[in-house]
Amino acid sequence: MGDSRFLRACRRERTDTTPVWLMRQAGRYLPEYRAIRARASLLDICNRAELAAEVTLQPVRRLGVDAAIIFADILLPVVSMGIQLEFAAGEGPVIRDPVRAPEAVARLRRPETEEIAPAIYDAIRLVRRELDGKVPVIGFAGAPFTVASYLIEGGSSRHYLETKRFMFTEPRAWDALMDTLSDVTTRYLRAQVTAGAQAVQLFDSWAGALSPLDYQERVLPWVRRIVAELRPLGVPVILFGTGTAGFLPALAASGADVIGVDWRVRLDDAWATIGLERAIQGNLDPAVLLAPRDEIARQARAVLEQAGGRPGHIFNLGHGVLPETPAENVRYLVELVHELGASSTAAGDGGEQAAVDEVTRER
């Protein structure tokens, strides 16, 4: 299993082709996922191990991706911290009583590991058993800044004003909040690894709302602590964020093994900046999967060319699969990356156009 394409690439070892998985590969764009959602809410799925496991496995069966990522929501752990979490239809997460004062931070519980999201641990065990070594399982958690932004804003946000206002005006309460969230995140990820996760990804999806200075001073120390505490477990840690083109050196300084980047930066520029001693994950614009096939092929090829066939590239989107995406385009992409990646990782630059032509012709 340590010999899988995905785990080898995390360690920057050579692979037969470029490994590929997709953020939100389990989700609304899949008819089989919508069928389960018709009878179970998002939180139902996260709280019932057999449903979470089933949904995790759906894209592995359909797409031939090189890793499964456990199905969960990054806000799941906050329920065990005493927060009321809802998912309003079409609105995303809603927290009716946002954390906007030092007292609210002080009231947050620090749950024991087994309280955090126990169904997820069970789901990981089920998925491991079901996959039987076919592909590895990735565990994940929200990074402290991104989770804090939901707690403070009360949901999704465009400008993160309340979050920043809190960070600027209540620096001690901010640190206390980061400290609590970092502890919970570490416990949660450790338990996922114990249950069988073979890699973990920290989603700091909204870190790109900050300036490099604020990220470096007020967020990075906590991410670094989490990464250091996971280090003894011996599994690769992936740190992902969007809009981070301006502070990639800080992301690399986290100590994570793999840095996930979005499409707003060229993969070659990003890799040069974070340093070739890290693996890199990304970075096709998810909107490209709404395009015609020849455009998908052109853009996927551009990402692979920027990776240059170098060991340590894990192909992914720059963020999650969009609900509007045709499932057959996702499958096309996965096959195409495997085809093109085989020629670029092995034979160098030759034969790529031939591989595109071939995959395009098959459809």
Quote the least distance from Cβ 286 to a second copy, whole Å: 8
Quote the least distance from Cβ 59 to a second copy, whole Å: 21
Q: Which two tokens stand for residue 208?
A: 């790109």
For residue 150, indicate whether it is catalytic: yes
Which CB atom, from 189 or from 300, has the smaller least distance to a second copy? 300
For residue 24, indicate whether it is catalytic: yes
Interacting residues with a second copy between 199 and 218 (CB under 8 A):
208-214
Q: In what order do the strands lie in the sheet with 137-142?
A: 68-69, 137-142, 199-203, 237-240, 258-260, 279-284, 313-317
Binding segment toward a second copy, per CB under 8 A, in 32-40, 45-53, 184-192, 266-274: 266-274
Choice from 40, 291, 327, 346 touching a second copy (CB under 8 A): 291
- For 152, phi then psi, to 5°, come to -85, -45
Asked if 130 touches a second copy (CB under 8 A), the answer is no
Concatenating the DSSP letter of every residue in 278-343 gives SEEEEEE-GGGGGS-HHHHHHHHHHHHHHHTT-TTEEEEESSPPPTT--HHHHHHHHHHHHHHHHH
For residue 37, indicate whether it is catalytic: yes
HSE of 92, CA atoms in CB hemisphere, 13 A: 8
Is the four-CA dihedral 337, 61, 118, 47 of positive or negative sign? positive
Quote the least distance from Cβ 26 to a second copy, whole Å: 20
- Alpha-carbon distance values, 142 to 115, 182, 207, 230, 248 (Å): 17, 10, 11, 15, 18
Quote the least distance from Cβ 182 to a second copy, whole Å: 23
Catalytically annotated residue among 150, 160, 188, 332: 150
Asked if 246 touches a second copy (CB under 8 A), the answer is yes
Which spans of this chain sit near a second copy (rule: CB under 8 A)? Answer: 158-161, 164-165, 168-169, 208-214, 243, 245-247, 263-266, 269-270, 285, 287-288, 290-292, 295, 299, 302, 318, 322, 324
Active-site positions? 24, 28, 37, 73, 150
